[in-house]
Structure 1
């Protein structure tokens, strides 16, 4: 086995722990199930363990391979071929490994329900020039534009541990904002081609692609958490009707988003004006039961909106929505807090 660990008692112990973890996590099995294999030379398992050891040592892959200081290290072409092969399903590999670790090692440690978390973050590639679908994209948390991608991540958490399950790099849907287009020679039957097509979808649509890749029931997850960027009644309604999941999310103040209350349509600001607020310095100001629209059987989907004091601006408020009507106001706030635990 190729090792990046120095040849010493401490190094041998660390390498032994890495090898033991790879067996526990069934890395070899899941690589095979994700069609990740090599026809010749170092096996995919050896190469993945080599890269994993580099991360543990804080070493740069390119510099390590160029230095030639490790006579038993693989050639750089072997490593690069592993990472760029169009038929390898790395997302499926991540789903299988994470699900196995959650079911086998994390769930038995707690009786608390797990949650799924959707996170939209920036993936900066300002120094890149020729990366396919490299784009000028907007960071929705700051409003600034940068060169790179948005990275949509779906993960699992029990409030103490966070594990990523699946992710997707999103480009700009506006062709004028893209610096590079897709290589026209790529095989359209491959996983890589499907990922490139996915990169041009709306983030709200990709959310459901990621959810389709996992099994929430096996993961013990009953709730999906996300921030206000995804919090549209149509998205929330689709989640609760298509998956065995409740939704807890922050919702935005928008004049274009309406909720039903006592048979009338209201914006979030209008709803806040209709509720009776608690007196004093209460953290939870009020709550209200609203409708999000009807399901395919004509039944109205209901949700509870909880208005909470903004701890950064005491005179302002935020709104959290839960589709689980059994949640108390405190339950909804506590569960949403798991989104920030990672």
Structure 2
């Protein structure tokens, strides 16, 4: 499991080569992810990946005999929800490097495309989630609580890689509003403002870059 003193040997053997090849922790540091004390950002990110790929339950893990060497759940939630961390910068650097590695393995004549998709992100059991809104599923005609999830992906016809995403709320059908205490200078505040835009408005910066 996660050992507190060092960032080395934090992952299962099946995930170590992936992190090393894609330089995940290097991009995390370049994106400015740092903590002054406690478990490092690298350790917390690796723990999240471990739970995701091994389908482990976080609460059961804390009740196990390994709980003494693990960070508390509040430390993980603060890491994932920290408004000052530039998650988009980290994801962009990692995605670009991954696309470059894949492109080098394929023919230069193969066409590559960007794919934009607007799908549902349901949170029907949630009540206090920030910017929670009510949306209509036009496929079924039913309404759901949650967000619209706008994603940007890259594909060469065989490989399909995610590049960026935005969770979209709604001003008209909002259930919960914006946290008034968040620092307006942070990356988190900018993402919240983006969530209140329409899907075409969120795509406009991508059109300029492309």
Task: Name the structure 2 match of 1:121.
Answer: 119
User: What's the secondary structure of 2:14's corresponding residue?
Assistant: helix
Task: Name the structure 1 match of 2:2.
Answer: 2
Q: Quick check: 1:51–1:61 contact (8 Å CA) kept in 2? A: no
Task: Name the structure 2 match of 1:57.
Answer: 54
Question: Hey, what's the Cα distance between the residues in 2 that align with 1:53 and 1:83?
Answer: 15
Task: Name the structure 2 match of 1:184.
Answer: 180
Q: Quick check: 1:35–1:87 contact (8 Å CA) kept in 2? A: no
Alignment of 1:1-342 (within 5 A): 2=2, 15-65=12-62, 67-70=63-66, 71-104=68-101, 106-111=102-107, 112-174=110-172, 177-209=173-205, 211=206, 239=207, 242=208, 244=210
Runs of 4+ more than 4 Å apart = none
Q: CA deviation at 1:63?
A: 3.7
Q: Quick check: 1:27–1:45 contact (8 Å CA) kept in 2? A: no
Task: Name the structure 2 match of 1:300.
Answer: none
TM-score with structure 2 length normalisation? 0.88
Q: CA deviation at 1:43?
A: 1.1
* Unaligned residue ranges in structure 2 (runs of 5+): 4-8
User: What's the secondary structure of 2:50's corresponding residue?
Assistant: helix
For residues 94-134 of structure 1, the C-alpha deviation after alignment (integer angstroms, 9 at most, x for no partner) is 11111111102x11221112211001010000011111110
Question: Hey, what's the Cα distance between the residues in 1 that align with 2:60 and 2:138?
Answer: 34
Describe the shift of the 1:243–1:29 C-alpha distance in structure 2 as closer, same or farther (beyond 3 A).
closer
More contact order relative to length (CA 8 Å, sep ≥ 6) = 2
Which is richer in strand? Answer: 1
Larger Rg: 1
Q: CA deviation at 1:20?
A: 2.4
Q: CA deviation at 1:62?
A: 3.8
Number of equivalent positions = 201
User: What's the secondary structure of 1:206's corresponding residue?
Assistant: helix
Question: Hey, what's the Cα distance between the residues in 1 that align with 2:116 and 2:65?
Answer: 41
For residues 255-295 of structure 1, the C-alpha deviation after alignment (integer angstroms, 9 at most, x for no partner) is xxxxxxxxxxxxxxxxxxxxxxxxxxxxxxxxxxxxxxxxx
Question: Hey, what's the Cα distance between the residues in 2 that align with 1:243 and 1:194?
Answer: 19
Q: Quick check: 1:136–1:145 contact (8 Å CA) kept in 2? A: yes
Describe the shift of the 1:243–1:36 C-alpha distance in structure 2 as closer, same or farther (beyond 3 A).
closer
Q: CA deviation at 1:150?
A: 0.3
User: What's the secondary structure of 1:36's corresponding residue?
Assistant: coil
Question: Hey, what's the Cα distance between the residues in 1 that align with 2:139 and 2:77?
Answer: 34
Q: CA deviation at 1:147?
A: 0.4
* Unaligned residue ranges in structure 1 (runs of 5+): 4-11, 212-238, 245-342
